[in-house]
Amino acid sequence: MHDLNPDSLKRLLPFFLLLALIPALPALAQSTAADSLVRLAEEHHRHYRFDDALDCYDEALDSLAARPDSLRSAADTLAMHAIEARMLLSRNGLAMTEFVDQPEVIARRRFSREDFFRYYPFPDSSWISKPNRADRSAATPLSPVTLVNGADVYFSAPDSTGIYRLWHSIHRPDGRYTPAEPFDAGVPEGANCIFPVLSPDGERLYFASDGLYGVGGYDLYSIRWNPRRRGWDTPVNLGFPYNSPADDFLFAQDPNRSEALFATTRDCPADSVDICVVSFNAVPVYTPMTDPEDLEALARLELPVEETVDDDPFAGRDHAELYMKRMAQVRSLRDSLSTGIKAADRLRSEYSAAPDSLRAPLQERILAAEQRQEQLREEIARLTQEVRAIEAIFLEDGLVLNPDKVAAPKEVREPYTWVCSALGEDLLFTRRERQIITLSDPVMYVTTLPQDSLILRRKSIDFTEDELASPLLDTLIRKMLSTVTAPSQEGVGIAAPQVGINRRLVLVQRLDKEGEPFEAYANIRIDTLTGPIVHGAEGCLSVPGMRGMVARHSEVTISYVNPTTLESCTETVKGFTAVIFQHETDHLEGILYIDRTQIVAEDDDWAEKREQYDYSRPQWW
């Protein structure tokens, strides 16, 4: 035997490693073959060759299953499960080829992912910042926004597990929105759902999901309202060509045209989406389309070749057909105008009977209805003018047209116009609260008795989690601080109702801390009142020129949210600062200090009034 020195061993090491790997080589080869087959299957799937994709997936599974149990790893098992999941998508695609719609493509344009939704044909202010915090996690491919449909708000937001669910909130007569409730009609747990949109008649809800029956990515679905059982039916996939192996989302009907829009990422760069405008049929005619090339061509949603139009505005069109179309549009718009006028009259009746506190939102709805009526009148006038121009052509040609005897025309579509709508105000705070916060001077108007008693006597509500994180709250705190420290006020505390906002927020001067700073306390409550009761003189910015003797506890325990850190806190406060907290939190319950004493006097008479007080009791001053 030859002696092997270290150098010889180094030279032979690759040979020994190769010998060790020989038993694993078949497994490695199988793994490589399976990966190649999966990639090929995915390519087939992207091109609608679902049969070929399933064949490749089957071969990949067979390749992994042929591996000896001793060489099969947990990763192999996971890979097999992943392949089976992909096979399900291809099977879905194969089944969906039996039910294919073929809408006319009206328009298609590419937009940024950040604001593409603003080019949908909705009125200004339809889109708002989501009432939940903006979350750009990988769970959803798009900017989180909310569409307001009349009095209802539908939106998607992550739940406690991070899954995007559908939510619903209702605009109340007092201007606030009800707490959002999950809207899960038939959607299984674990499925992300985004961009819910109601149909104009309110009978269907469209949304996109990545966890229902589909072909991959986000697919589009509709849920139909069932009036007999007063509930929503099971979600239905919209099928091809609305859905594709890419992401498809935000399906909406154009409320003014027989068209629908949806967004897609097919053939788009990562920062863009395409909006496709197609003809809309409430009851689509589905037909089989099993040829992958035909399916892929349909899914490209290519625009038809544009016809050349000369200077004649009616060139290339049959005048009779165009005349009938315009007449039908005028009739439809007149019907809409009549319906709108009746709805506005009902709102005016509600406004007349409503108390002052509920009139503001009704007035806004009346104004919106009147604006819509004016738009309809302008459109009717424009179309009527065009009808008269066509009638003039008929007269020149000696043609007498009876609209009732002309066959229904083939629809002549106008070129699609893209308009960017203005974003609406978010749902954080009511409109009135936003106006007070944003439009007021740095020193805010202070509510006083008796003219502001409706505000001062109302109980205040908490801020929502998102309102706590809103810059509007920072602005409110800053302005409240400027108000309470103004030379005209010089108070030691202030509560939000004192500036016209019934929210649980107080600013208190911490006389018990170094520097005696003012600090803000949101969603504050007094948990316990302890310590000896002490009597002292109190005044109030909202009851100017008056003072009174009030009995207060000398120690309190408070719970609140720190507006800066958003942390929930608990604290025990003693001495005169505890009295300030009691005074300010009373405001949040609609209570004033004059409700807690029978000894009240104007400032000029206070010295004399104090003489009547029993000074054997402890005093703050």
Cα–Cα distance, 92 to 106 (Å, whole number): 28
pLDDT of the residue at 9: 39
Instruction: pLDDT band for 33, please (50, 70, 90 cuts).
Output: confident
> Average pLDDT for residues 422-448, to the nearest whole number?
80
Would you say residue 599 has pLDDT above 80? Answer: no
The better pLDDT of the pair 450, 72 is held by 450
Residue 129 lies in a domain: yes
pLDDT of the residue at 284: 77
Given the DSSP bridges, would you call strands 193-198 and 600-602 parallel, antiparallel or unpaired? Answer: unpaired
- Based on the fold, state whether residues 89 and 128 are members of the same structural domain: no
Does the pTM of the predicted model rise above 0.85?
Answer: no
Q: What percent of the chain shows pLDDT beyond 90? A: 31
Would you say residue 239 has pLDDT above 50? Answer: yes
Cα–Cα distance, 600 to 427 (Å, whole number): 42
b/e map of 198-223 (b: 16 or more CB within 10 Å)?
Answer: bbeeeebbbbbbbbbebbbbbbbbbb
Tokens representing 590 are 């609609």
Tokens representing 536 are 């002292």
Mean pLDDT over the full length of the chain: 79
Least trusted range by pLDDT, from 27-41, 100-114, 240-254, 550-564: 27-41
Tokens representing 33 are 């073959």
Tokens representing 119 are 């080019």
Tokens representing 28 are 């490695």
Planar angle of CA 415, 417, 419, nearest 5 degrees: 175
pLDDT of the residue at 614: 46
Cα–Cα distance, 116 to 127 (Å, whole number): 11
Residue whose structure tokens are 């001077």: 441
Please answer whether residues 603 and 546 qualify as being in contact, where contact means their C-beta atoms are separated by less than 8 angstroms: yes
Strand, coil or helix: 387: helix
Cα–Cα distance, 132 to 166 (Å, whole number): 12
Please answer whether residues 563 and 519 qualify as being in contact, where contact means their C-beta atoms are separated by less than 8 angstroms: no
pLDDT of the residue at 49: 94
- Based on the fold, state whether residues 512 and 477 are members of the same structural domain: yes
> Average pLDDT for residues 328-335, to the nearest whole number?
74
Phi, psi of 321 (to 5 degrees): -65, -45
Instruction: pLDDT band for 370, please (50, 70, 90 cuts).
Output: confident
Cα–Cα distance, 242 to 262 (Å, whole number): 8
Alpha helix segments (H runs only) across 302-450: 319-353, 359-396, 431-439
CA dihedral 331, 336, 341, 342 (to 10 degrees): 110
Instruction: pLDDT band for 523, please (50, 70, 90 cuts).
Output: very high
Q: Is 28 exposed, middle or buried (0-12, 13-18, 19+ CB in 10 A)?
A: exposed
Residue 138 lies in a domain: yes
Tokens representing 164 are 């995007």
Would you say residue 21 has pLDDT above 70? Answer: no
* DSSP annotation string for 554-618: EEEEEEEE-TTT--EEEEEEETHHHHHHHHHHHHHTT--GGGG-S-EEEGGGHHHHHTTS-TTS-
Would you say residue 185 has pLDDT above 90? Answer: no
Please answer whether residues 195 and 225 qualify as being in contact, where contact means their C-beta atoms are separated by less than 8 angstroms: no
The better pLDDT of the pair 450, 221 is held by 221
Domain that holds residue 85: 29-96
- Based on the fold, state whether residues 554 and 476 are members of the same structural domain: yes
Residue whose structure tokens are 């091109």: 47
Tokens representing 312 are 């004649």
Domain boundary among 261, 283, 305: 283
Cα–Cα distance, 171 to 364 (Å, whole number): 13
Instruction: pLDDT band for 567, please (50, 70, 90 cuts).
Output: very high
Q: What percent of the chain shows pLDDT beyond 70? A: 78
242: nearest Cα among 274, 264, 216? 264
Residue 146 lies in a domain: yes
Residue 6 lies in a domain: no
Residue 616 lies in a domain: no
Alpha helix segments (H runs only) across 419-470: 431-439, 453-456, 465-468
pLDDT tens, position by position, 62-84: 888 877 776 667 777 888 888 88
Residues listed for the chain: 621
> Average pLDDT for residues 116-122, to the nearest whole number?
88
The better pLDDT of the pair 614, 328 is held by 328
Domain count, the chain: 4
pLDDT of the residue at 68: 73
Domain boundary among 44, 77, 96: 96
CATH number for the domain that contains residue 58: 1.20.58.80
pLDDT of the residue at 479: 93
Residue 18 lies in a domain: no
CATH number for the domain that contains residue 234: 2.40.128
- Based on the fold, state whether residues 113 and 77 are members of the same structural domain: no
Question: At 14, which amino acid appears?
Answer: P
- Based on the fold, state whether residues 48 and 157 are members of the same structural domain: no
Residue whose structure tokens are 């409706």: 454
Would you say residue 138 has pLDDT above 70? Answer: no
Residue 476 lies in a domain: yes
- Based on the fold, state whether residues 604 and 463 are members of the same structural domain: yes
Residue 548 lies in a domain: yes
Which residues does the annotation mark as catalytic? 584
Residue whose structure tokens are 């009995």: 551
CB within 8 Å of 367: residues ≥ 6 apart: none
Question: At 137, which amino acid appears?
Answer: S
Instruction: pLDDT band for 307, please (50, 70, 90 cuts).
Output: very low
Strand, coil or helix: 84: helix
- Based on the fold, state whether residues 113 and 233 are members of the same structural domain: yes
Least trusted range by pLDDT, from 85-89, 90-94, 114-118, 327-331: 327-331
Instruction: pLDDT band for 604, please (50, 70, 90 cuts).
Output: low
- Based on the fold, state whether residues 274 and 326 are members of the same structural domain: no
Tokens representing 72 are 């099969």
- Based on the fold, state whether residues 129 and 278 are members of the same structural domain: yes
b/e map of 269-304 (b: 16 or more CB within 10 Å)?
Answer: eeeebbbbbbbbeeebeeeebeebeebeebbebeee
Domain boundary among 96, 129, 145: 96
103: nearest Cα among 218, 206, 253, 327? 253
CATH number for the domain that contains residue 504: 3.90.45.10
pLDDT of the residue at 148: 65
Instruction: pLDDT band for 172, please (50, 70, 90 cuts).
Output: low
- Based on the fold, state whether residues 85 and 111 are members of the same structural domain: no
- Based on the fold, state whether residues 377 and 502 are members of the same structural domain: no
Given the DSSP bridges, would you call strands 543-561 and 164-170 parallel, antiparallel or unpaired? Answer: unpaired
Please answer whether residues 102 and 151 qualify as being in contact, where contact means their C-beta atoms are separated by less than 8 angstroms: no
> Average pLDDT for residues 125-141, to the nearest whole number?
50
Tokens representing 533 are 């009761």
- Based on the fold, state whether residues 82 and 36 are members of the same structural domain: yes
Would you say residue 135 has pLDDT above 60? Answer: no
